[in-house]
Amino acid sequence: MSQIPIPELLALLALLALSGFFSGSETALMTLNRYRLRHRADHGHRGAKLAQRLLDRPDKLIGLILLGNNFVNILASSLATVIAIELGGEGAIAIAAGVLTLVILVFSEVTPKTLAALHPERVAYPAAYVYTPLLKAMQPVVWSVNIIANNLLRLLGVPPDTGAGSALSREELRTVVTEAGAMIPERSRDMLLAILDLENAVVEDIMIPRNEVEGIDLQDPTEEIVAAVKRAGYTRLPLFDGGIDNVVGIFHTRDTIGLLDGALDVRERLRAIARPPYFVPKGTRLYQQLFAFQRLRRHVALVVDEYGDFQGLVTLADLLEEIVGEFTTDPADAYPEIHRAEDGSLLIDCSINVRELNRAMCWSLPTRGPKTLNGLIIDYLETIPQPGTSLKLYGHRLEILQTDEKAVKTVKCLEPMPAGLALPGSTGGGAYAT
């Protein structure tokens, strides 16, 4: 038996280490989070900058890595054959091939690639320092390999210069935010998701319906007008002239201080301080309306349908609540349409907006149809039900308690109350004019 060739074995171990480096760095560079990489590169991380430049042309990078990896593997195979012949003759070549295959698989492929997949940044950034000068040195060879590979791709009908973009769709971004876990606080995560949802909602979804809008009618007696302004619970009120369908302006109640106790006509004073009404179509997207409020410096918009008929009222506060949640100092005032009965059951005023009901009860009722629970029930049953009727509305069990000739007024929820839902004792209107 021949003496063990130490130099050849050391060279073989070095080649196996190089093979592991090429395999692991390839996996690390290809599994890097591109958004985290871009963030670190923008903040001056040298390794991230080099890795980003390499990944800008993945065909060159992959060509370089495969060129190096195949070269060292073939060289290692040849060297193992030489060692096998020296140690055991030609009969040991097959044994050497089997052992080398197992060693490359474990130590040069699986182990480094697993490490790189678990900690891609630890491997990719140092590797970028090696590949950057190596790519410049091997540019002619890599260029030749890429020319041949790209032409083969074109023959197969796959243009090499076109690939999937790295931009995320809205739904993909929702998934990223949802799965961020502890990296984003729950409150911030809810706000980010709410901002993404603004594109799917329109002002009709959150507006105060016309039958709940409070305002001042200039045709009322002077005493009633003054009393109504003084007891108003809102800071901005619409000004009517002969009915809710004829809105002539929006005024701020603070501007009426000292103007209503005098000899001059109260109506003319209110007209003088009122701003012209601002009308928006009911199909306006919420994110567009948010920008419009900001651009026009308005807080209140009157919602109209395709015929120009007044449908309701939406405010900047309503819009912001879609993002940050209800503005209230008392948690029990957040959803006044939901309250507890004496027997402990949940009673729901059917004028509640479906989006608010979903938010309060953690339900998933459809929002692309009727905007209130009353409308949803009538649309589901295709009739106005009688009190005592029970139904399963999209998986949620309800009992009709009160109705009239036109609408369902109150229902009882036959399901447990969601954890954390604070309930007031009575219903009330929304503070649309804050």
C-alpha torsion 101→103→109→112, nearest 10: 180
For residue 10, tell me if it sits in a domain: yes
Q: What are phi and psi of 360, to 5 degrees?
A: -70, -40
394 and 339 together in one domain: yes
CATH number of the domain encompassing residue 385: 3.30.465.10
Percent of the chain with pLDDT over 90: 34
Structure tokens that stand for 95 in this block: 């044994």
- Which position has the higher pLDDT, 96 or 281? 281
35 and 111 together in one domain: yes
Residue 431's pLDDT band (boundaries 50, 70, 90)? very low
Q: Which of 274, 233, 243, 238 is nearest to 256 (CA)?
A: 274
For residue 123, tell me if it sits in a domain: yes
> Distance (Å, rounded) from C-alpha 412 to C-alpha 408?
12
311 and 401 together in one domain: no
Average the pLDDT over 132-136 and give the result.
91
> Distance (Å, rounded) from C-alpha 125 to C-alpha 431?
55
12 and 126 together in one domain: yes
For residue 210, tell me if it sits in a domain: yes
Placement of tokens 């060159």 in the chain: 60
Question: One-letter amino acid identity for 186?
Answer: E
Question: Is residue 3 scored above 80 in pLDDT?
Answer: no
Residue 199's pLDDT band (boundaries 50, 70, 90)? confident
Question: One-letter amino acid identity for 299?
Answer: H
Question: Is residue 434 scored above 50 in pLDDT?
Answer: no
pLDDT for 332 equals 47
Average the pLDDT over 414-429 and give the result.
58
Give the end of a domain, one of 101, 121, 155. Answer: 155
Dihedral sign computed on CA atoms, order 276, 281, 286, 292: negative
Side-chain-side CA neighbours of 227 within 13 Å: the count stands at 5
Q: Which of 173, 184, 204, 206 is nearest to 323 (CA)?
A: 206
pLDDT for 167 equals 65
CATH number of the domain encompassing residue 239: 3.10.580.10
Placement of tokens 């900047």 in the chain: 316
pLDDT for 261 equals 66
40 and 110 together in one domain: yes
- CA 317 to each of CA 136, 173, 235: distance values in angstroms, whole numbers, following the listed order: 58, 26, 12
For residue 353, what are the domain limits?
331-413
Give the end of a domain, one of 90, 123, 155. Answer: 155
pLDDT for 328 equals 56
Residue 403's pLDDT band (boundaries 50, 70, 90)? very high
242 and 339 together in one domain: no
What digits encode the pLDDT tens for the residues 346-356? 899 998 888 88
For residue 184, tell me if it sits in a domain: no
- Which position has the higher pLDDT, 33 or 430? 33
Question: Is residue 370 scored above 80 in pLDDT?
Answer: yes
141 and 47 together in one domain: yes
pLDDT for 408 equals 93
347 and 306 together in one domain: no
Average the pLDDT over 39-53 and give the result.
89
Mean pLDDT across the chain: 84
Residue 298's pLDDT band (boundaries 50, 70, 90)? very high
224 and 248 together in one domain: yes
pLDDT for 290 equals 93
Q: Are 301 and 280 in contact (CB under 8 A)?
A: yes
318 and 335 together in one domain: no
Average the pLDDT over 192-198 and give the result.
83
Question: Is residue 432 scored above 50 in pLDDT?
Answer: no
For residue 192, tell me if it sits in a domain: no
For residue 167, tell me if it sits in a domain: no
For residue 351, tell me if it sits in a domain: yes
> Distance (Å, rounded) from C-alpha 228 to C-alpha 311?
23
Q: Which of 295, 189, 314, 201 is nearest to 250 (CA)?
A: 314
> Distance (Å, rounded) from C-alpha 235 to C-alpha 32?
53
Q: Count of domains in the chain?
A: 3
Question: Is residue 229 scored above 60 in pLDDT?
Answer: yes
Question: Is residue 334 scored above 80 in pLDDT?
Answer: no
Average the pLDDT over 116-137 and give the result.
92
What digits encode the pLDDT tens for the residues 258-296? 776 654 588 888 888 999 999 999 999 998 999 999 999
Structure tokens that stand for 156 in this block: 């197969």
Report the 3 state secondary structure along the chain: CCCCCHHHHHHHHHHHHHHHHHHHHHHHHHCCCHHHHHHHHHCCCHHHHHHHHHHHCHHHHHHHHHHHHHHHHHHHHHHHHHHHHHHHCHHHHHHHHHHHHHHHHHHHHHHHHHHHHHCHHHHHHHHHHHHHHHHHHCHHHHHHHHHHHHHHHHHCCCCCCCCCCCCCCHHHHHHHHHCCHHHCCHHHHHHHHHHHHHHHCEHHHHCEEHHHCCCEECCCCHHHHHHHHHCCCCCEEEEECCCCCCEEEEEEHHHHCCCCCCCCCHHHHHHHHCECCCEEECCCEHHHHHHHHHHHCCCEEEEECCCCCEEEEEEHHHHHHHHHCCCCCCHHHCCCCEEECCCCCEEEECCCEHHHHHHHHCCCCCCCCCCEHHHHHHHHHCCCCCCCCEEEECCEEEEEEEECCCCEEEEEECCCCCCCCCCCCCCCCCCCCC
Residue 422's pLDDT band (boundaries 50, 70, 90)? low
What digits encode the pLDDT tens for the residues 245-259? 899 999 998 888 777
Centre a 10 Å sphere on the Cβ of residue 61 and count the other Cβ atoms it contains: 22
Centre a 10 Å sphere on the Cβ of residue 250 and count the other Cβ atoms it contains: 22
pLDDT for 331 equals 45
Residue 428's pLDDT band (boundaries 50, 70, 90)? very low
pLDDT for 264 equals 59
Name which of 82-96, 239-253, 311-325, 331-345 the model is least confident about. 331-345
Average the pLDDT over 166-179 and give the result.
74
Average the pLDDT over 218-238 and give the result.
87
Give the end of a domain, one of 140, 155, 170. Answer: 155
Q: Return the ∠ at Cα 345 (arms to 340 and 349), rounded to 5°.
A: 60
Percent of the chain with pLDDT over 70: 89
Question: Which residues pair with residue 413 across a beta bridge?
Answer: 346, 398
40 and 135 together in one domain: yes
Question: Is residue 342 scored above 90 in pLDDT?
Answer: no
For residue 418, tell me if it sits in a domain: no
What digits encode the pLDDT tens for the residues 380-402? 998 999 999 999 999 899 999 99
Q: Which of 430, 364, 396, 379 is nearest to 197 (CA)?
A: 364
20 and 113 together in one domain: yes
pLDDT for 160 equals 66
pLDDT for 385 equals 92
